[in-house]
Structure 1
Amino acid sequence: MIYSNIQKQILLKLLTKYESSKTYKGENTVLQSFSTKPSDIFKDYEKDSTDINAIEDFEKQCKSLESEKLIQIDWKYGRISKLISIATEKNWNTIRTILGVKDKKERHKEEIDFYISFYNNPDFEPIVKDFCKNQIERLENDKEAEYLQEDSKNIIALLNYILKNENEILERELSISVLANSKTWEEKYKRKVLKVLRQSGYFDSLIDNCVDEKEINKVILEECNVYSNPSYLYFKGNGKITFENDKTFSVYYDIPLALSSQSINKIKSLEIADSKIMTVENLTSFNRIKDSETFFIFLSGYHNSVKQKFLEKIYQQNLNKEYYHFGDLDPDGFFILENLQKKTHIDFKPYKMGIEELKKYSDFSKTLEENDITKANSLIEEGKFVEIMNYMLENNIKLEQEIISWKELFFEQKDDD
């Protein structure tokens, strides 16, 4: 007999209840029965508005299972009230055969062996091992693993690839490399993998001040050199870049140079003639801002460990310079500045990121959002940028840096005229 999807759902529901019971575990001294309501399978079954033909078809499928002596039907007021299993070991084995599943104990043992094979493999990263350990503990405690085995296999492969990755890779490339399909990562596994990475604890210091899941995911992936789109670093000023193969490129203050993020690992030295070095948060501001005595760097996106090490290399090769950061005049902009200072151990000074600018360009300001307030209070609690954070909170104000770079340049050009 060929069983329908509805019939299989009924049998699976009953089997799951049985295999979760004390009877299955051999701990029960009384006879148990296992049942499910029709609405657990066909949610609109009990509604008066449900199509009568759909109800009749559902009931026909239930009666067919009853005729096979796999279930018993209880009726009430002309409708099915309960679907009850006929609980014999022979019936349970028949149901397993119909569903194409193994006995729970046998299945759990196979799954435990599956996870142990990864846990004991030295080629797999600690986060992968922790994930496998958690699944083993669940199965040993008679719980289901979080994911089907095939899904876990792909999650493990993705985790290990991402955690070992040292070069920039795009999300679609990751999907093709591991899953042989450019869309499967986004559609099926991205949220699952990021959940494991978030819960691992390994990224806590990076995501501590992130305000939502989207920001957290971006920070974690970029820390692992996984990007949604190609990432470039931009330079302009007076300097010379030398790569590991001894090829050199000159940088000029009026001709910006862009390099892929992958290229920065191959930079051997960056000699800067300017007296000041400034990182700029926004590309629009980077393109707008000018100063013949400053070397400007746009890092593009989250300042992950690769970019931080690159800044440290620049610092070691250019010790006698002044270091600045130009970012948005909002709590997030100051979080980026604080992160730069803390992670690189470089004394980046804020450039045009003061109360004076907030007052001067207040006509272009925006009001604070909930996440701004959260971040501002967090910085105040840490004793960071207290004065300007309090000013933002008291005046409900923030400012994008593009306004400053545009207006300052406009005024400078006007004065020159």
Structure 2
Amino acid sequence: MSYEEKILTCLVNKYRSSKKDSGTNKIYKRTQIKPEKIYKKYSANDGDFDEINRLNATVELLEKRGYITSVRESFGTQIKCIYLIDEKVDEIERYLEEKYGFVSKNTQLEYVKNLIKLYKEASPICKEECKLLEQAVLNRKLPKNIKLLDDIFKAIAFIENNQEQLYIREVSMKIYGDSKYFEKVTLQPVCSILRKYTNKPLEDSELLDEILLYYHILREPQKICIKGNAVIYMFGTEVDISRFSDGIEIMASDLVNIESVILHASKFMTIENRTSYLRYKHPDVVTFYLGGYANRYQRDFIKMVYKANPTITYLHFGDIDPGGFWIHYNLCQVTGIEFGMFCMSVEELRNNVYQPYLRKLTDNDIIRLQELKDMDIYAKTVKFMLDNNVKLEQEIVSYTLMNTKK
């Protein structure tokens, strides 16, 4: 993003998010940003002189156009503050749209209005949500989840009208043409809205998506996958799973026959993706394949493990992306166990070995990271991800770990 685009976008967004935009401000305050908002090292001793000059030149150009004003130090050329000329905000938005593809707040409000027209009669819950959105639009307020709003409405409308017994991935195919999109992206906000309007609050021992059973929607039959130095007691006998190099799988329907699980290792680690579960082995770690958000059977099994082995270390190993962190958060919530994170830190993102495999964040990633950045356990890594526009899948991490072991 050029300095011109960044300066104007920051100022316009700040104006549009203020009370001045809706005309409800009682005190007039100038819309302003510091130059450090545009270039972090603007006032630092180790700041790049060429970058500082480039930023100064851009500010001068925008002042000549009549879009902004600035205040500089009494002696010198350093900029102290950059101000928007409020009366030019509409003109600036048009300029940003034509040159950079900027989407103005007015355009976004029109988009929300069109969604309201499309979904207000789609289902009872859609109707109620559209009423809330109508009020928000009148007050010139945008929903935080605007980029997911259409997909959320699609799912709610389908689910409320569904009369057929379906599996979750069949639902996802019918709604989005993608078998995994619902689970990966919209399941949580959709289930939260369904619970809100059906008066079915989440109980301590309940998973968020169990509300879908009310609408004839089921998860696929589940298996429990576990590997490592552990003994499972079931049917009155011992099953030493350490003898199985790739672990064992137990159908969820057989969990009622398990009496206890004793670990002969100091760590129990859940692993998000199957490839990493198959790849990773350690003599002092019992690994458990999660596959995404913990389902009720996985939750109950993990609780059983914890009951018999409360003093060992519990870890989670997943993707360094929003999904990976939300899966960890959900795991801690539904089990009541404080899982640490394994290889899901800034250290991995900075590691030279992984640089060729870093991927850029999507718009949806950025939205999902916003809520995580204020949680202490994720804050440092999330800030690094947002600042550097990076994420990393765990498969390359598990591969590297197992191929660099001595």
What TM-score do you get using the length of structure 2 for normalisation?
0.49
Larger Rg: 1
What TM-score do you get using the length of structure 1 for normalisation?
0.47
